[in-house]
Structure 1
Amino acid sequence: MSTFADILKEIGEFGLFQKRLVAAVSVPNIFIAFDVISQVFTALDFPNYCNTDWILQRSDANLTRERQKELTIPVRPDGSFQSCLMYTPVDSDLETIELYGLNSTTGCVNGSELEVPIGASSIISEFNLLCDRRTLTELSQSIYMTGLLIGAVVSGFMADRFGRRFVVLLAILLLFLFGVSAAFSPNVYVYIALNFMCGVSMAGIVTNISVIGGEWCESSKFAFCTIISQSFYAIGLMLLSGLAYLIRDWRVLQLALYSPLVLVLPVLYWILPESARWLITQGRKEEAVKEVCRAAKVNGRDVSPDLLDKMNVDVTPNRGGALDIFRISYLRKRTLIMGYVWFGISIMYYGLSLNVGNFGLNIYLTQFIFGLVEVPARLISLALIERFGRRRSEAALLMFGGAACLAVIVVPKDLPVVVTVISILGKFASAASISIVYVYTGELYPTTLRQSGIGLNSMCARLGGILSPLIRLLGLYHEAMPMLVYGLVPASAVGFCLLLPETLNVELQEHAQPRTDSGYIEVGQK
């Protein structure tokens, strides 16, 4: 019987077909970046202060806007004006107020005023998400992450049951529909609901798109295909910062980010094959042969009919699922450990990414640099795992990234360049960690359970994504608390990571292999 590895040697292990496929699956990663980080710009905050026009009624003299704020709005310790506090109105005339000042404070009793540049808007300015309603912004991001969590579980199950190609194409179609529809949201609640559905849709792309490319290559190229395609996520981040800089209206920006998917979908429909590895495990020999012959034709190779006849195809379809993972002891152990590793990476990555506006420099420039640094981070991660292995590389990057988050706490706020540089180093480590964890996780599971396994681990990452915006609210109690959490969680995941087996130079497994005596064989363990 011929294995899929034998077939790849015959049709080309990394020919034009595989290269074209890697290029095709790279493009959706650009839109993944748009979807995950876009709220940094669509929910852009503008300077806002309480409406204190009451003081204008105390005198016929005209007050400049700056002088009016000085008299009626308290300042923070750093000298900036408070956003949601004002001095309590009094009946005194202007001269008395200027002479004695005001003492007691209250909330914005007459509403708030925003200083919005001409032509700019965001969901905060349009839906009045100020002061007491500001938590809706963080809630929106957390609900979006909840969509990612739900989508990760559902898409992982669907991919192992119905195929990778079907799930990817369906997810891209839904992301286009919900992403464009969000631009026409009449209120914040409709926006949150549509954003949630974008998260559900996008999870189907994240957990499947890279695996399709990797499963069509020999095992030694799995990491290369996965990381190269994910590097386009960094390109998406840079494009996002440029588009957001040029397009300041959030509705127009939303359309600009999602509309191109209508062109991407037909191209992927034509190029994207189904995973032959998955078809073989499902007993669908005729379809597997068709896809193999298609690959051979693109690579300019001939495939032996005898080799195809002897293809080792499962007679009974192996339709595993999440429950099967928890029934198998070694897979259960890997899932629980890797789940916490994914959680730690997610806390660190989103903690840095969503705080991009709090580092003291221009938000567009900082976001561009954050995207730029991810390109070498993802490429260097490939060299690291080939030299030092998956386990040690992942553990080292988790420790480095966590240390960077903790270092931000001790740097004075009047040194924004230093804070940004340290944050960029943390972003470098978190981006490299993400690239490695997708490769590592995919190699730890057999083909029959690979997408379910990635879906379960991705669910843990989305839990981290849900909590990351809420952790920022801890800053209301102490400004150092959010970065403290963002640093300690990934650092604590290092020990768990070291408990996993190494998968460097280990052949991808098609099935979980039970022992005849007790337990299960540690497939891929060294």
Structure 2
Amino acid sequence: MGFEELLDKWDLVCEQKGLSKLTSTFFFVGVLVGAVLFGYLSDRFGRRRLLLVAYASSLVLSLVSAASVSYVMFVITRTLTGSALAGFTIIVLPLELEWLDVEHRVVAGVLSTIFWTGGVLLLALVGYLIRDWRWLLLAATLPCVPGILSIWWVPESARWLLTQGRVEEARGYLLCCARLNGQSVGEEELSQEALNKVAEGERVVQRPSYLDLFRTPRLRHISLCCVVVWFGVNVSYYGLTLDLSGLGLDVYQTQLLFGAVELPSKLLVYLCVRRAGRRLTLSGMLLGAALTYGVRLLVPSGTRAWTTALAVVGKMFSEAAFTTAYFFTSELYPTVLRQTGLGLASLVGRLGGSLAPLAALLDGVWLLLPKLVYGGIALLAGCIALLLPETRKAQLPETIQDVEKMSHQEEEMQCRLNGTEERHSEKL
């Protein structure tokens, strides 16, 4: 059954036509709630366990969605599916980073998002070949099955286990990791006593909560900057997505174009992050997206080729900002609050994404006003990103105290640099 036939069957025509548009809105409401819920729970109960919950619930709820017999049932199941899908989108990358050293974090971060892009491209092909909506939902759900099976080989974060005082489990995973890497580890290096000392220094005194993100000056600064940056990233991303959707392409061509644009953006992120660092890359990509909006204000609306080219370039910049924001935010927060912080940033980001279509309605006031709003928000987010600390060559912080210590170390280093410059100027 095609989508148009479904609208007739569920009486979503004439006065009820607007209900068909609400389905995606409810889905993103679910994503918003899921980001907050899974962010907190994975810091509380562990990454691996919640990742399994996310995959299993996504599979079950998608199957139930495909079997929906009414509009209400479909909307409820899609909303819950959105919550489940948000779980593994915010758990997978931080779990990767918590197992990697400084040198390999960039490669892992970019590589995992390339698989996302591959899924976007594959979805265009699957959607074109399968026109029945029920079978399409089933086909799109199938990747959850190998995801569930792969959990058997996915280790829990040893960093998180140490913060919870579960030393023996952490030691088992670390020894297994050493064997897989062909490294010989002495008993003294990973002895129970040595890990107990590490665990004592990283043990969480109280259960993590969203209030902890604002308790100390440094974490408060990071959290406020991150929510502004994520809001700007999502507004510019979905604003440019709306622009590309209005180029006269069908849904399959649009989906294919989205995936094709994302591939060079990943390469751009990899090169820039390695050379310029996370902060400058994130700020530069947001400023690049803002610049494309600014140039489009000057380009006459009749020049379709220029408009399309600028929209594609802007989408590339916004996608690069999205990719950088994900693993940069994961590196900023300590292990005990990493998922909680990412959940808060994702929540505000989804709010920005939800408001992006509403900003498009401002063209009734002035035709160029939506682009001015999108570009202005991207510009503000790009400037705020410069206030975040750089994490390029920095070890992942484990506790809130680690974040505050890093702040003091940066201040001391800055004071030394200023003192050196003053002495040098006096000599001159």
Give the match for residue 243 of structure 1: 126
Instruction: Give the partner amino acid of 1:374.
Output: E
Give the match for residue 353 of structure 1: 241
417-426 or 455-464: bigger deviation: 417-426
- Kept in 2, the 8 Å contact 1:503–1:524? The answer is no
Alignment match of 1:462 (pick from 350, 356, 368): 350
Give the match for residue 36 of structure 1: none
Instruction: Give the partner amino acid of 2:129.
Output: L
CA shift, 1:521, in A, is: 5.3
Give the match for residue 336 of structure 1: 224
Instruction: Give the partner amino acid of 2:158.
Output: A
How far apart, CA to CA, are the structure 2 residues paired with 1:432 and 1:476? 31
- Kept in 2, the 8 Å contact 1:513–1:523? The answer is no
Q: Please state whether the residue corresponding to 1:169 is helix, strand or coil.
A: helix
Give the match for residue 23 of structure 2: 140
How far apart, CA to CA, are the structure 1 residues paired with 2:338 and 2:103? 17
Q: Deviations over 1:90-121 (max 9, x none)?
A: xxxxxxxxxxxxxxxxxxxxxxxxxxxx9664
477-486 or 420-429: bigger deviation: 477-486
Give the match for residue 171 of structure 2: 289
- Kept in 2, the 8 Å contact 1:442–1:454? The answer is yes
CA shift, 1:490, in A, is: 1.3
Please, what is the CA RMSD of the aligned residues? 2.6
- Kept in 2, the 8 Å contact 1:231–1:379? The answer is no
Give the match for residue 424 of structure 2: none
Alignment match of 2:338 (pick from 447, 450, 459): 450
- Kept in 2, the 8 Å contact 1:361–1:416? The answer is no
Is 2:150 the partner of 1:150? Answer: no
Give the match for residue 187 of structure 2: 305
- Kept in 1, the 8 Å contact 2:93–2:327? The answer is no
Give the match for residue 277 of structure 1: 159
How far apart, CA to CA, are the structure 2 residues paired with 1:171 and 1:381? 28
CA shift, 1:369, in A, is: 2.1
Residues 131 and 355 (structure 1), Cα distance of their counterparts in 2 relative to 1, 3 Å cut: farther
Give the match for residue 438 of structure 1: 326
Instruction: Give the partner amino acid of 1:489.
Output: I
Residues 360 and 451 (structure 1), Cα distance of their counterparts in 2 relative to 1, 3 Å cut: same
Residues 137 and 473 (structure 1), Cα distance of their counterparts in 2 relative to 1, 3 Å cut: farther
Alignment match of 1:196 (pick from 73, 79, 84): 79
Give the match for residue 91 of structure 2: 208
How far apart, CA to CA, are the structure 2 residues paired with 1:129 and 1:479? 31
How far apart, CA to CA, are the structure 2 residues paired with 1:449 and 1:195? 29
Residues 437 and 209 (structure 1), Cα distance of their counterparts in 2 relative to 1, 3 Å cut: same
Is 2:258 the partner of 1:370? Answer: yes
Instruction: Give the partner amino acid of 1:442.
Output: S
How far apart, CA to CA, are the structure 2 residues paired with 1:484 and 1:411? 13
Higher helix share: 2
How far apart, CA to CA, are the structure 2 residues paired with 1:448 and 1:413? 50
Alignment match of 2:148 (pick from 256, 265, 272): 265
Q: Provide TM-score, normalisation by structure 1.
A: 0.71
CA shift, 1:452, in A, is: 1.1
Q: For residues 91-130 of structure 1, what are the structure 2 equivalents within 5 Å?
A: 121=4, 127=10, 129-130=12-13
Q: Deviations over 1:455-474 (max 9, x none)?
A: 11111111112223443444
Q: Deviations over 1:263-322 (max 9, x none)?
A: 3311x2222110111111111110001111221222233321111112243234454332
Q: Deviations over 1:4-47 (max 9, x none)?
A: xxxxxxxxxxxxxxxxxxxxxxxxxxxxxxxxxxxxxxxxxxxx
Q: Deviations over 1:124-150 (max 9, x none)?
A: 565454565444344332322222221
For these two proteins, the number of residue pairs brought into alignment is 405
How far apart, CA to CA, are the structure 2 residues paired with 1:193 and 1:503? 40
How far apart, CA to CA, are the structure 1 residues paired with 2:133 and 2:360? 23
How far apart, CA to CA, are the structure 2 residues paired with 1:293 and 1:228? 26
Instruction: Give the partner amino acid of 1:347.
Output: V
How far apart, CA to CA, are the structure 1 residues paired with 2:269 and 2:87? 24
Q: Please state whether the residue corresponding to 2:189 is helix, strand or coil.
A: helix
How far apart, CA to CA, are the structure 1 residues paired with 2:372 and 2:271? 30
Give the match for residue 65 of structure 2: 182
Q: Please state whether the residue corresponding to 2:190 is helix, strand or coil.
A: helix
Residues 198 and 305 (structure 1), Cα distance of their counterparts in 2 relative to 1, 3 Å cut: same
How far apart, CA to CA, are the structure 1 residues paired with 2:240 and 2:6? 22
- Kept in 2, the 8 Å contact 1:228–1:379? The answer is no
Residues 488 and 235 (structure 1), Cα distance of their counterparts in 2 relative to 1, 3 Å cut: same
CA shift, 1:239, in A, is: 0.8
Computing the radius of gyration from Cα coordinates, the structure with the larger value is: 1
How far apart, CA to CA, are the structure 1 residues paired with 2:278 and 2:54? 29
Give the match for residue 173 of structure 1: 56
Give the match for residue 497 of structure 1: 385
Is 2:283 the partner of 1:395? Answer: yes
